[in-house]
Structure 1
Amino acid sequence: MAADKKRKHTLASSFKFGFEGIAAAAVKERNVKIHIAISVFVILSGFVFSISKYEWIAIILSIGGMISMEMMNTAIERTVDMYTKEYHPLAKQAKDIAAGAVLVFAISSVIIGFIIFLPRLLAWF
């Protein structure tokens, strides 16, 4: 396709593609499934412990960010795999760095969860 004949999508089709990507990740990606399951548990815990509006904001940002990071990691892995099936140090580095970004966000999310829920859990015991 020529550079001057770029494909243009409607706003509705852009949303459709986005939802298709979310659905594909939720169905096909083990780690996304794990994050969704943990997210459901965290959301239910938020209701049980009546967390504050600002704590909900932190939880929602953590959940949204975590699932988004996992999806970006998957997109990077798929792109690298499409480019080369052979071992290449830069391909490994790209995949490792993307996985590291997910790990950093996961650790941050767990810390946020501890800050919000640990005092409430300790109060129960």
Structure 2
Amino acid sequence: MDLKKLALGIGTAAALAGCAGGPAALAQTTSRPPAAEPGGNVALTPGQEVQVAGRDLTVRYRQLVSDSRCKPGRQCFAAGEAVVALVLTEPGRGEHTSVELHTGRQGPDSTTFAGTTVKLAAVDGSGTRILVRFS
């Protein structure tokens, strides 16, 4: 990591912490996202980010893009699908990309970035919680 950028980031975080309530705010500002082990499902809510353990990859659930799935208690002609937007970041290289993953057959349910496959395993009924798997 570039030391100038690191120093600037720490200085900015410290200045913001001073305005926002002291050391506790600084700890929140500079904390890393939780780590997730490859192979298991990880639950994310919109805006939440997770780092893949042992890999230079973070995944953030940006938003539910669309949801045409059949709602509970209704009869539907087609099952429909949910589409979610994710931001994949390789912090060590400063690379990132945005992807949309699907629960149905209209688009991909997985993608590969930074040598890791990210698969959309499930989307809850409201789209406020998704499960992703890394391999």
**What TM-score do the two structures reach when normalised by structure 2?**
0.26
Kindly indicate whether structure 1 or structure 2 has the higher relative contact order, using CA contacts under 8 Å at least 6 residues apart. Answer: 1
Q: Which has the larger radius of gyration?
A: 1
